Amino acid sequence: MVKAVQVHKSFGRVKVLNGVDLEVAPREVLCIVGPSGSGKSTFLRCINHLEKIDAGQLFVDGELVGYARRGGKMHELGERAVAEQRKNIGMVFQRFNLFPHMTALENVMEAPVRVRGESRATAREHAVKLLDQVGLSARRDMYPAQLSGGQQQRVAIARALAMRPKLMLFDEPTSALDPELVGEVLDVMRSLAEDGMTMVVVTHEMGFAREVGDAVVFMDGGVVVESGHPRDVLVNPRHARTAAFLSKVL
Partner 1 sequence: MQVQHMTQAAESVESMPTVRRRQPGRWVAAAVVCVLLAMLVNTFVTNERFQWDVVFDWFTSDRILAGLGRTIQLTVISMLIGIVLGLVLAVMRLSDNPLLSGVAWAYIWLFRGTPVFVQLLFWGFISALYPRLSLGVPFGPEFTSFSANELISPFVAAILGLGLNEAAYMAEIARAGILSVDRGQAEAAQALGMTRGLALRRIVLPQAMRVIVPPTGNQAIGMLKTTSLVAVLAYPELLYSAQLIYSANYQTIPLLITASLWYLLITSVLSVGQFFVERHFARGSVISAGATDRRGSLRRLAARLPGRRP
> Which residues here bind ligand ATP, judged by CB under 6 A?
11, 14, 16, 36-42, 146-150, 178
CB of 42 to ligand ATP, least distance (A): 3
Partner in contact with 229, chosen from its own copies, partner 1, ligand ATP, none, beta carbon below 5 to 8 Å by kind: none
Specify burial of residue 39 (Cβ count, 10 A radius: 0-12, 13-18, 19+): buried
What is the distance of C-alpha 92 from the center of its chain?
A: 6
Q: How far apart are CA 104 and CA 158, in angstroms?
A: 9
User: Quick one: which of 70, 73, 80, 248 contacts its own copies (CB under 8 A)?
Assistant: 248
Q: Which of residues 56-95 bind its own copies (CB under 8 A)?
A: 94-95
Stretch that binds Mg ion, among 34-42, 51-59, 61-69, 154-162 (CB under 5 A): 34-42
| Site for Mg ion contains 152 (CB under 5 A) | no
CB of 126 to partner 1, least distance (A): 14
Rounded to 10 degrees, the C-alpha dihedral 218/224/227/230 comes to 20
Distance CA 43, CA 28 (A): 18
Query: Which partner in Mg ion, its own copies, ligand ATP, none is near 248 (CB below 5 to 8 A by kind)?
Result: its own copies
Interface residue with partner 1 among 8, 18, 111, 184 (CB under 8 A) is: 111
At 231, give phi and psi (nearest 5°): -55, -45
CA 66 to chain centre: 17
Residues 6+ apart with CB under 8 A from 48: 60, 65, 85, 86, 89, 91, 169
Distance of alpha carbon 238 from alpha carbon 227, whole angstroms: 10
Element (H, E) at 170: strand 167-171
Taking the complex as a whole, the smallest distance from the CB of residue 245 to its own copies amounts, in Å, to 6
Rule CB under 8 A: is residue 179 a binding residue for its own copies?
yes
Nearby residues of 203 by Cβ (< 8 Å), 6 or more positions away: 31, 32, 33, 170, 172, 173, 174, 175, 209
Write out the H or E segment, with its range, that includes residue 17: strand 14-24
**Which of its own copies, ligand ATP, Mg ion, none lies near 100, with the C-beta cut-off 5 to 8 A by kind?**
none
Interface residues toward partner 1, by CB under 8 A: 3, 5-6, 11-14, 25-26, 48, 50-52, 57, 59, 61-62, 64, 67, 69, 72-80, 83-84, 86-87, 89-91, 93, 95, 97-103, 110-111, 114-116, 142-146, 159-160, 163
Residues of this chain that interact with Mg ion (CB under 5 A) are 41
* Binding footprint of its own copies on the chain (CB under 8 A): 35-37, 41, 94-95, 148-151, 172, 175-183, 204, 206, 245, 248-249
